[in-house]
Amino acid sequence: MNLAAQDIRHNLGRFALTAVGIGLLLMIVLGMSGIYRGMIDDALIVVNRIGADLWVVQRGTRGPFAEISRVPANLEHRLRAVPGVVSARTFVSHSVQREHQGKPLRMNVHGLAWPEDKGAWVTLTAGRPLGQGHYEMIADASLGLALGEKMVLGKDTYTVVGVTKGMVSSGGDGIAFLTTQDAQAVQFDLSGEAIRLERAARVQRAVEQDIGQVQPLLLERGGGLSSGIPALARPMVSAITVRVADGADLATVAATIAGWPDVSVHTRDGQEELLVYGMIDKARRQIGLFRVLLIIISTIIMALILYTLTLDKIHDIAMLKLMGARNSMIVGLIMQQALLLGALGFGIAWYLGGWIFPKFPRRVLVTTEDLLGLAVVVVIISILSSLLGIWKALRVEPNKVLS
């Protein structure tokens, strides 16, 4: 006859409620780990998928994902001339929030260097890559945009030609892939009134200068389209992605580009490190602190419950000692209950987590490593929480049965 099983059957209600409570706490611990891993995976997914060896950004900045970076689009031509460089492509990234079908929709817009990059590296669940230079987009499924659906961004209407899954930014916003030109049109879109005021301001500045008074044609050009003014360059891009030839020394190529006074260079590993230990570092530490607190709380709750169960059977423990039961039997009784309580809590956490986590707004990525780690933690806290009950049980005198 197993004494632990008999005692659990006697206090089944309390034991079951405690197991459910521990399971919910452990589920939150598991969810915290999954949210952290999901944040890292979301932050690195574009860096890993796009396949760039180097990211060339504005001098002194940390890249398009960490802060604002502005480099001229024609920088790609200069980069292609560097020995060892296979390709250089423009990259644009920015976030927008629009109203779609009466609801706010926030997305991260990524510009692809059409026609070299059509988004073939994006894993599609439906549709196709970009097929033309304008007015097409690939949307992540989290945006809720169906294949063939149209959406107005700026002054143009874009058609969803491809749907992907799991392509989100470090902030959890779904990514929409457009061509670089379209992404810039969305980024620098201005209302009609703002454009009119900007043109009027240009004309006014020209009138106030001698060159505007002696060359009236400049006033006419200043009040027209920006593209008609030769002195104005093309809009800036966020970064230039560079691929290095097989066999070329990556460090040498990076050092050559880093010697230019107007840009900074980050390798793929450096970009990943900046994302993990820069953008999401505080969230990572905060989630880690919550995990530690929840584990401590779980240990305390289990210890108090086991101590209470031990107090309820003080008379029975004294009787066992009076009958000659060894201390190892008493210790085994409490230890088995603690381990069973932890095992049930772990099972409840794993089952409920598998059902609830997919419904979270942010991706919860639970790995086998996390499950094994939590299992080890559960064994440790089960043993630690049983120590208080064991200490009380070992102090019971056999003559207690007579009182």
Which pLDDT value is given to residue 214? 52
Of all residues in the chain, the percent with pLDDT exceeding 90 is 12
pLDDT band with cut points at 50, 70 and 90 for residue 389: confident
Amino acid at 153: L
Question: What is d(CA 174, CA 138) in angstroms, rounded to the nearest whole number?
Answer: 11
pLDDT band with cut points at 50, 70 and 90 for residue 362: confident
Residue 228 has pLDDT above 60, yes or no: no
Tell me the pLDDT tens digit for each residue of 130-174. 999 889 999 999 898 999 999 888 888 999 999 998 888 877 788
pLDDT band with cut points at 50, 70 and 90 for residue 226: low
- Selected residue with higher pLDDT from 77 and 400: 77
Phi, psi of 160 (to 5 degrees): -75, 110
The two tokens of residue 203 are: 């004309």
Tell me the pLDDT tens digit for each residue of 11-57. 677 778 878 888 888 888 888 888 888 888 877 888 888 888 999 99
Q: Is 285 exposed, middle or buried (0-12, 13-18, 19+ CB in 10 A)?
A: exposed
Q: In 3D, which of 139, 172, 141 has the Cα closest to residue 41?
A: 172
Pairing between strand 174-179 and 150-153?
unpaired
Q: Which residue reads 């999401």 in tokens?
A: 280
Contacts of 197 (CB under 8 A, 6+ apart): none
Which pLDDT value is given to residue 136? 93
Yes or no: say if 393 and 372 are a contact pair by the CB < 8 Å rule: no
Give this prediction's pTM: 0.72
Residue 294 has pLDDT above 90, yes or no: no
Checking 312-319 for CB contacts under 8 A at 24+ apart, the result is 312/11, 313/7, 314/392, 314/396, 314/400, 315/400, 315/401, 317/393, 317/396, 318/396, 318/397, 318/398, 318/399, 318/400, 318/401, 319/401
Average pLDDT of the residues in 251-263: 91
Phi, psi of 88 (to 5 degrees): -140, 125
> Does 104 sit behind a cis peptide bond, omega within 30 degrees of 0 on the bond before it?
no
Distance of CA 21 to the CA centre of its chain: 28
Question: What is d(CA 28, CA 291) in angstroms, rounded to the nearest whole number?
Answer: 8
Strands (DSSP E) found in 2-155: 54-58, 85-100, 103-112, 124-127, 136-140, 150-153
Task: Return the bridge partners of 126, or none.
Answer: 163
Question: What is d(CA 43, CA 276) in angstroms, rounded to the nearest whole number?
Answer: 8
Which pLDDT value is given to residue 401? 55
Residue 296 has pLDDT above 60, yes or no: yes
Q: Is 400 exposed, middle or buried (0-12, 13-18, 19+ CB in 10 A)?
A: middle
